[in-house]
Structure 1
Amino acid sequence: MKPLLRIVRESLILGFAEMGAVYTWRTWTFGWLMRLLCQATFYALLGRYVGDEATMRYVLVGNIVVLACMESTIVVISLAGERRMGTLPLLAIAPSGHLPVYLGRGLQWTVTGMTSSLVAWIALPPMLGVPLPWPRAAYAVPVVLLILVSSYGYGCALAGIALRMRGVEWLVLNVAYGIVMTFGGVNVPVEVWPAPLEYAAQALPVVHGLDAVRGILDGASPGRVMRLLGTEAVVGACWYAVAALSMDRLVSVGRRDGSLDYAG
C-alpha cells in the first residue's frame, strides 16, 4: 500500500509541475476554467432556445457533470507525451511495476476535473436561473467523483491507441470525449438513438452515473440510484481492465522488439 500511495503522491507532484509550466492559477482560472463554464452555459442556453426550462435544466446538468469526464480523459495527452519525450521505457522498468505508474500518470486531471465540475455545479444553476433541489443536489457530488474515476479508466484505455500511433493523441482525445458528449445522454437521452447505438452507449462512462445524478435531483428511489451507481462502477472497472491489458501488451511487445524506445 505504501508504494502505491507514494506513486500517487509523486504522480500528482509531477502532474502539477507540468501544469505549472503551462498555467498560472490566474490563467487556469480565467482561461481554462472560464472556457469550460462558457461551454456548459452555451449548451444550456441552446437547450432553452430549442426547448423549454426543463430542457435547459437537462442539458445544463449533463454538461456540468461531463466536465469531469472531459478533463480526466486528458490523460491521453499525458501518456502520449511519454513516448514523444522518449521516457516511456522508464515506466516499463518502474520497480513497482508499470501499471501503477501508467495509471497514475495523469492523476492531476482528476483533481482539476473534479474542481471544474464542482465550481460549475455551484455557480451555473443560480446564474442561469435553473434551481437545483438543495441540499439533495449535494448528494450528487460523490456520484460525479465516481463518474470521474470511471472516465479516467476510459481515458487510460484509449491512451493505448495514442501510444501505438504517432501524432494521433489529440484526435483520440477529442473523438473519445465527443462520443461521450454525443451518445452518453449529456444533451439528449440515450434512448433517442437507434437500438444498436443505444446498446453500445451502455459501455460508455458517464451514461449510468449521469442518470443517477438526474435520479437524485428528481427524487428517484435509493434502490434505482444504487443500481445505476453499481453499473457505472462496473463500466469503469472494465475500462481499467482494457487499459491494463493494453499496457501489458505494449510493454511485452516493446521489450521484445525495442519499440518502447521509439519517440515520435
Structure 2
Amino acid sequence: MKWTAAKIKALKGQRKIAMVTAYDALTAALVDDAGIPTILVGDSLGMTVLGYETTLPVSMEEMLHHASAVARGTRNALVIADMPFMSYQPSVALALENAGRFLKEAHADAVKLEGGAMRGEMIEALVKNGIPVVGHIGLTPQSVKEMGGYRVQGKTPEQARQLMDDAMAVEQAGAFAIVLECVPAELGEMISNALTIPTIGIGAGAGCDGQVLVFTDLLGMSGKPAPRFVKKYATLHPLIAEALSAYRSDVEDGSFPSEEHTY
C-alpha cells in the first residue's frame, strides 16, 4: 500500500506514526521494507553524509539529488523532502517553484519547511497548488544562528503559548502534519491534543502522535555521542570499524582474495 498525505493524516488518534530519515536508495529500501510509513529526506544530510557542521550550507541541488535516490528506493512509504535554507524563505513564489521541483523532478510525495505562523501564507499557497506540506516548529535547525545553538524551546509560558499559536497556524494553513522538535514533553502533548493533524516528535515526548529519528543515530553508526532523545536500536559503528580493519589486514597479508574468491 502506497502511503499518501491523506492516509498519514487519518492516522491521528488511530495509531502512532514512525518516521525515519533516509538519504539514498539503499537506506530508503531498508526503511520501506521495515514497514515504516514515512521517510524524511532531511536536510540533516548536511551533517550525516555531506560533512557540513550545520544544515545551512545544504543546497537545493543536493536535496534534489538525495530525494531522487530515496524515491527510487521506496515503494510504499510517503517520501517527504526537506526544503533547505533559503529555498523558500525569500518569497512564496520561490517556495512554490522549489517545492514543485521536489515533486516533479525528485518524485517526492510532500515537502517539509520550518516556521510557524509566519509561514501560514506560504503553506496555504503550496497546498492550494497541490503540494502536501509538513510543518516544523520548536527547535528549527535552519534558525540555529538566531537561536544561539541547539536548545530546548518552549520552556517559558510565553514561549509555550507562541509554539501553540504557531502549531495552530500551521494546521489552519493546510499542513497535514507537523514536526515538534526539542520541546518539553508536557508541551508536546498539549500541542498534540489541540491539533487535528498528527504531530511527529523528535525530543518532544511520548505524547506526540509519532516519532522521527535519524537513520544513522538509531543504528549507532557515527560513533559520536547522540542527543538525549535518541534511542540506539543497534550499535553498528564498532562492527563496521572491525570489518573494515579485518579487510585491510587480509589485503595487506595476502589472505584476500583466496581461491574461493578467484575466477
Common fold: TM-score over 0.5:
no
Normalised to the residue count of structure 1, the TM-score between the two structures is: 0.23
Q: TM-score w.r.t. structure 2 length? A: 0.23
Normalized per residue, the structure richer in helix is 1
